[in-house]
Structure 1
Amino acid sequence: MSVQNENQQSDAAREAYAQAAAAAAAAGVIVRLADPPDMNGVIGLFERTWGEGRSPDRSMLLALDYAGNTVLTAIADSKQVGATLGFLGWSNGLHLHSHMAAVVPWRRSGGVGYALKLFQRAVCLDHGVKEIRWTFDPLIRRNAHFNLVKLGAEVATFLPNFYGRLDDAITGSDQSDRFEVRWRLDSPRVIRALAGGHAPAWTTSEVLPLGVDFEQLRADDPAAAAELRATSRALFGENLARGLRPELNAANEYVFTTDAADTGPVAPGAAGPGSPAGPAS
């Protein structure tokens, strides 16, 4: 589904819509802009993920949608199985801030989140918006891989306890440390990632292993999870203050580097399906 007349679209937007359509077909869904009748379903998806009362209400979603922001839905067998919400921002440059994304549990890791993200990218390029930003918990390894490797986003900054205590169905009483990432939609890094290319071997100075399933650790041993949270917070803060960027290596460990984000060739190939196993924005 195109937002603008096809004759008005840039080559980048046309290609982005084609990539989004291929990702949706691979995931077995239709992704489109949400219509007013879809909003109750969008709310249901957000509340299933974060808990009752954690979604914007219907009037807010309708207003955001009417103003032209990305309220998107993914549909399979006439049922909504995924949704995402993003709105325009202009801090440090015009961008879309992607705030919420949710997929029903039985469709996670099946490409629905990837298809939603690629459609969001296409809509932005269709309107001349070249960057999407969002936040995620850096200790959730699968989301780190999805964001930094599969999509080709890059860490812009570290935000300790960004939202304060959320007490939602995901974070509980844990502190809400977040990376803000920027997805430069037509950059060599993103083109390489969406083509299925491998990330470069980063020049590194320090490594933070992420071998533990942090969500399980948080449930089983809150004290150990809190210790890892404190250790990682110090490491992220110190290294970013020194001008080092966090990236993921082939073992899904954080490494800190001064390499340019677009280091490495753009590799040919086709990006396969995928999605975050759980919520990501």
Structure 2
Amino acid sequence: MTAEWRAAREAADRAGVTVRELRGMGEFRQAYQLFDDIWHFSPGDPPVPVELMVTFTHAGGYVAGAFQGGELAGASVGFRAEDRTLHSHVTGARIGRGIGYALKLHQRAWCLDRGLDRISWTFDPLVRRNARFNLVKLGARPVAYLEGFYGALDDAINRGDESDRLMTVWELAGTPAAPPDPPYAVGVAVRDERPVAGRADGPAVLVATPRDIETLRREDPAVGKAWRLAVREVLGGLMARGGRVAGLTGDGSYIVVDRRFRP
């Protein structure tokens, strides 16, 4: 057993799950229902239908689940892309149990067994807990800001907002370079839960995130919209000009490094 498979097994044991590839229509339907329970998508608009899970499995893609007893508590679906990459299209798990981490480590070991070098996926740059998981816990790094990537989404989590996403890549060998030391310019700050524009110049710029964008979307859509536009303008603008996201601060601000900076 490789070190990566041992790490995946240990993470699954800590989460109290067994992670394995899914088999048969019954398990694919369980994954579909799990995703529906998480996102509550509108009829006819699932993130991944059962038929596509079948196709990905047949074509050598990744369709796996985390089981607690006989219950499916997490699942992940991905397909192979160019440059020895697996694109992880959708991953959903019960929050707060370490199941998502167990799935990602299983996915990493699965990829390395097949000669793949990296895993890519997208996430909403405003969801702070996902940014922390992706950048801090896994060591993945955003590589592009994608404005309105999925068009209008009508699920319970994203409804009423625009689908900006960060394309993110997890290089499976090595660790990312550390961000530069402070001081940092502040491109977006937080005041009374609202975004405040600052100065997006200097070798490294901080771009704040809201504490809980999902609650803001429901309870104060105007403030949620203000966050979307502020982060799009500053983070998206910096990345469009060649800036790279080098990390995340303890309070949930992206550290964006000017393309001319070399650690």
Question: Residue type of the partner of 2:27?
Answer: D
For residues 56-67 of structure 1, the aligned pairs below 5 Å read 56-67=48-59
Change (3 A) 1:123 1:261: farther
Q: Kindly indicate whether residue 71 of structure 2 is the aligned counterpart of residue 82 of structure 1.
A: no
Which residue in the other structure is 1:10 paired with? Answer: none
Q: Kindly indicate whether residue 22 of structure 2 is the aligned counterpart of residue 23 of structure 1.
A: no
Deviation larger for 129-138 or 228-237: 228-237
Which residue in the other structure is 2:198 paired with? Answer: none
Change (3 A) 1:23 1:261: farther
2:117 to 130, 135, 151: 130
Secondary structure at 1:206's aligned position in 2?
strand
Q: Give the TM-score, by structure 1 length.
A: 0.79
Secondary structure at 2:149's aligned position in 1?
coil
Q: Distance in 1 between matches of 2:9 and 2:132?
A: 22
Structure number with higher relative contact order (C-alpha < 8 Å, ≥ 6 residues apart)? 1
Q: Kindly indicate whether residue 165 of structure 2 is the aligned counterpart of residue 167 of structure 1.
A: no
Distance apart, 1:177 and its partner CA: 0.5
Distance apart, 1:109 and its partner CA: 1.3
Secondary structure at 1:187's aligned position in 2?
coil
Q: Distance in 2 between matches of 1:202 and 1:158?
A: 24
Unaligned runs of 5+ in 1: 1-5, 7-13, 191-198, 264-281
Which residue in the other structure is 2:35 paired with? Answer: 46
2:134 to 110, 130, 147: 147
Which digits, 9 at most, give the CA deviation of each residue in 1:227-270, with x for residues without a partner? 1111110102221133221231232212211489996xxxxxxx
Secondary structure at 1:71's aligned position in 2?
strand
Q: Distance in 2 between matches of 1:230 and 1:65?
A: 38
For residues 161-200 of structure 1, the aligned pairs below 5 Å read 161-189=148-176, 200=179
Distance apart, 1:59 and its partner CA: 2.5
CA contact (8 A) 2:206 2:253 kept: yes
Q: Distance in 1 between matches of 2:53 and 2:261?
A: 34
Q: Distance in 1 between matches of 2:19 and 2:102?
A: 7
Which residue in the other structure is 1:97 paired with? Answer: 87
Which digits, 9 at most, give the CA deviation of each residue in 1:83-105, with x for residues without a partner? 00010111xx231100111113x
Deviation larger for 130-139 or 60-69: 60-69
Aligned residue pairs, count: 238
Q: Distance in 1 between matches of 2:175 and 2:123?
A: 23
Q: Distance in 2 between matches of 1:262 and 1:134?
A: 25
Q: Give the TM-score, by structure 2 length.
A: 0.84
CA contact (8 A) 2:242 2:259 kept: no
Which digits, 9 at most, give the CA deviation of each residue in 1:37-67, with x for residues without a partner? 3111111111112225414332321121122
Which digits, 9 at most, give the CA deviation of each residue in 1:184-210, with x for residues without a partner? 0112239xxxxxxxx655554322222
Q: Kindly indicate whether residue 27 of structure 2 is the aligned counterpart of residue 35 of structure 1.
A: no
Which digits, 9 at most, give the CA deviation of each residue in 1:120-146, with x for residues without a partner? 010000000011000000000000000
Distance apart, 1:155 and its partner CA: 0.9
What RMSD, in angstroms, separates the aligned Cα atoms of the two structures? Answer: 2.1
Distance apart, 1:171 and its partner CA: 0.3
Secondary structure at 2:121's aligned position in 1?
strand
